[in-house]
Structure formats: C-alpha cells, structure tokens
C-alpha cells in the first residue's frame, strides 16, 4: 500500500517556535525585503560570487542555501529524490520548532499532501492523478474559455482608456481560467483569488490565508464528490488512485497555486516587454515577431517563479567544495540559473530555446507547461488584438515589483489606450 501523509495539524512543528531560534549561517544574503525586491539580479550576482550554492536568509530568521548557477540547479533537480528530498518533513528547523511561528516562508514550504511535496512512490501516485486528468483537457475548448474570460475582463475597462494590466487583467485571468477548468462555483472562486494573493506574496497573514484556502478547496472536494461533472476536479476525484478528501483538497491547491500567480507574472512580464521594449514593441502587431517569442524571452530573462523547489540533502554532501547539510533547505533559483553567464547565449539564441528552467526539471518539473503557455499566449494575444495601442502610463523605472522571494512579477502595470467597446 502506498504511504499517505496526513496534513500538518495544529501540533505540527510549523505551528510553534522554540526558545532557541535557528542559527544563521555565515554571511547569509537576504532574498527578501526592499533592497532585494528592488533589484533581485544584483543579489543573484552577489550570491554567485559566493559560489554555485550560497547561504541565504529566505525570510527573517529563516535560513538555507540557494543555487546560483544553471549547473548547480540541474544537479539538484536531476538527483531528486536519490540525493535530495522534496518532502519538507526533512526540514530540520521546522521539525525542531526553531522558526518564527508567523513566518511567511512556512506556508510556502510546509508539508502538504500533494505531488509537489512528496518523494518516491507517494509522489508518483499523486503526480499521476494530475497528468492523467490534465490529459483530458480539450485545448481547443480551453482556448475558447480563455478568450471568453479575457473579453469579459477587458470589457470592464475598455471604455475607460486606462487600466492596470495586473489588477484588471493578468492578476485575475489565470485563476478564473483554472477555477473554470475545475468546475468551481462562483461562491468559492472569490475566496480562492483573495487568499492566493496573500499566500504567494508571503504576506504577514499568509498563515491565515493558507488555512482559508485549504478550507475552500476542501469545500470544493465535498461539492464535487456529490455533484461530479466533466471538469478537472471531477476527473481527479474519479481517478483510479482514489485520493482522500484531504489529498484532493491539497491537489486542488497545488493546481490553482502553481497555475495562477506564476501565469499572472508570465502574462504581465510579457505585456510589459511587448509595450515598452524596442526589441518587441510594434513587431508583435504585424505578426513579424509572435507573442510566443516574447514568452520565450520572459521565461529566460524574468521567469515567473524566481526561487523555489526547496530540496533537502538526505546525507552530508559536498558540491564543488561547498558543504550541504541534511535538513537545511536549498532553494533552486530558476532566475539565477537562467541568467548564469556560463550559458553565454544571446537573447536571439534563446528565442524558441526551451532549455530554460522556468518550468523546473526532473521528476518535479511542471506537469502542464503546455497549458501554461496556452493560457498566457491566448491572454496576451487577445488583449493586444482588442487594445493594440497600449502605452505604459508611468515611467518604467517607477514600476514596483511584488515581494519577490519566490515569484517575480510586477505589482501594477498602469497603461493608457484608445477606448474600445466591442470585441473584434
């Protein structure tokens, strides 16, 4: 029988803090806070100078290491789960209650009963339910759904002549598409949207948002068990692996979380590139340079998930002279890997090149990268078709990024355009 892990309870180590906080490693560099958020690349350069895997402060008083090169990232990803574990139950400071109980890093790195945080047979079982169910999605129908949702969002601001492409469009579209795929009713959709923002921004109330999101996904599970339909949620429930209610709710959280804000960032990052970068602006409208090429550029240069996939050495390891201790999380920096000078690839050479790590790699690689690209590409193409003269409304240097420890995206993208009332 495949082992099944219970969800963390109030008595789990993440629920409290011990009298002895975690000890800081030598000279950890913060990957949080205003200085990091203002210029993550400068931090990646400083970390790379310290070695291919360097000590970091993930959140206040939460320490670990992070890869800084493409080669180091692949080493970890390709040697999971043999040398490195994904299961956060290996996290020493979590188990020993040395973390601040309200740390925003905990909801993003804590144990969960879904495929993202499992190893071995448990991981294979849960991942199989996702890949088998995603394979049932009709991509032609999906494109129509994305277009319909995009038009609905655009219609809410098209007559104004101005909008925030994050708040009014990119921030809502992926989640609305995903909850539609899941067959989620409107009364649950808004709760999912609000709490996802808090969770991924590593906000102070991330723990409360995580609890509310879990409860909402459990409600969806109960609803779909009683009223199955031709949707992704029902396909997961009907899978031969027969997931428990808790496993189902955690799978929903994974699908929505992994597919929403990262896709929001992909859409927004691509739109900024297309409307305010001389290499892309203008060309996209006459079809010379398709949206897909802009997405390739973003996935290389500004991946929506910057630093994530915490892994734990199963035993003492050494990588290029750097000690890796069991129980200490090592984040994989997809952003630093893609920007590794050792790759020596020009921007032009990267167009159409899918060797980037934006969708991770190895056994925990994204199970549905094609769906993510369909959502982003269709959304970007639709808004450019509807509003072809988008112009950034503020100087680019004044734009602010969202808190960027784990994700990379813009807090807002104010634009102006010629008013439009009807879809093309």
Instruction: Give every residue of the chain whose pLDDT is below 70, as ranges.
Output: 1-26, 200-204, 281-289, 344-354, 420-424
Taking the C-alpha atoms of residue 420 and residue 117, their distance in angstroms, rounded to an integer, is: 45
Taking the C-alpha atoms of residue 371 and residue 369, their distance in angstroms, rounded to an integer, is: 5
Pairing of strands 62-67, 53-59: antiparallel
Instruction: Collapse the DSSP code of 309 into the 3-class scheme (helix H, G, I; strand E, B; otherwise coil) and give the result.
Output: strand
Taking the C-alpha atoms of residue 384 and residue 394, their distance in angstroms, rounded to an integer, is: 19
Element (H, E) at 210: helix 206-226
- Helices vs strands, H then E, count in the chain: 17, 11
Taking the C-alpha atoms of residue 305 and residue 356, their distance in angstroms, rounded to an integer, is: 12
**Under 8 Å CB-to-CB from 315, ≥6 apart: which residues?**
83, 326
For 75-91, the pLDDT digits (tens) are 999 999 999 999 999 99
Percent of the chain with pLDDT over 90: 75
For 387-414, the pLDDT digits (tens) are 999 999 999 999 999 887 999 999 999 9
Query: Is residue 407 a contact partner of residue 304, using CB atoms and an 8 Å limit?
Result: yes
Domains in the chain: ranges and CATH: 23-416 (1.10.630.10)
Taking the C-alpha atoms of residue 71 and residue 199, their distance in angstroms, rounded to an integer, is: 30
Element (H, E) at 36: helix 34-38
Q: What pLDDT is stored for residue 402 in this prediction? A: 87
């Amino acid at each position: 029988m495949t082992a099944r892990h219970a969800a963390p309870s109030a008595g789990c180590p993440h629920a409290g803090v011990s009298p002895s906080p975690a000890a800081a490693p030598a000279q950890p560099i913060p990957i949080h806070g205003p200085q990091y958020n203002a210029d993550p690349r400068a931090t990646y350069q400083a970390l790379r100078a310290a070695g291919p895997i360097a000590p970091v402060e993930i959140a206040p008083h939460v320490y670990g290491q992070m890869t800084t090169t493409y080669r180091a990232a692949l080493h970890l990803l390709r040697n999971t789960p043999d040398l490195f574990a994904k299961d956060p139950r290996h996290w020493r400071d979590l188990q020993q209650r040395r973390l601040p109980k309200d740390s925003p890093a905990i909801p993003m790195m804590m144990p969960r009963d879904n495929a993202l945080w499992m190893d071995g047979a448990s991981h294979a079982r849960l991942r199989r339910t996702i890949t088998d169910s995603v394979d049932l999605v009709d991509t032609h129908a999906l494109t129509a759904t994305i277009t319909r949702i995009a038009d609905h969002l655009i219609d809410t601001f098209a007559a104004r002549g101005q909008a925030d492409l994050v708040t009014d469009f990119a921030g809502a579209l992926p989640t609305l598409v995903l909850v539609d795929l899941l067959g989620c009713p409107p009364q649950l959709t808004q709760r999912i949207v609000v709490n996802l923002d808090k969770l991924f921004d590593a906000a102070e109330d991330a723990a409360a948002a995580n609890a509310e999101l879990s409860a909402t996904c459990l409600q969806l599970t109960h609803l779909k068990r009683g009223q199955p339909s031709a949707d992704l949620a029902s396909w997961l429930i009907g899978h031969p692996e027969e997931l428990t209610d808790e496993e189902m709710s955690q799978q929903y959280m994974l699908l929505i979380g992994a597919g929403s804000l990262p896709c929001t960032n992909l859409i927004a990052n691509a739109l900024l590139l297309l409307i305010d970068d001389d290499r892309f602006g203008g060309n996209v409208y006459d079809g010379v340079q398709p949206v897909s090429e802009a997405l390739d550029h973003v996935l290389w240069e500004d991946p929506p998930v910057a630093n994530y996939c915490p892994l734990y050495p199963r035993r003492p390891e050494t990588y290029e002279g750097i000690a890796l201790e069991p129980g200490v999380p090592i984040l994989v920096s997809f952003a630093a890997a893609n920007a590794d000078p050792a790759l020596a690839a020009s921007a032009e050479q990267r167009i159409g090149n899918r060797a980037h790590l934006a969708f991770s790699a190895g056994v925990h690689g994204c199970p549905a990268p094609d769906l993510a690209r369909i959502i982003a590409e269709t959304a970007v193409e639709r808004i450019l078709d509807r509003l072809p003269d988008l112009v950034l409304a503020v100087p680019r240097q004044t734009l602010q990024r969202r808190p960027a420890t784990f994700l990379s995206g813009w807090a807002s993208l104010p634009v102006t355009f010629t008013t439009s009332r009807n879809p093309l």
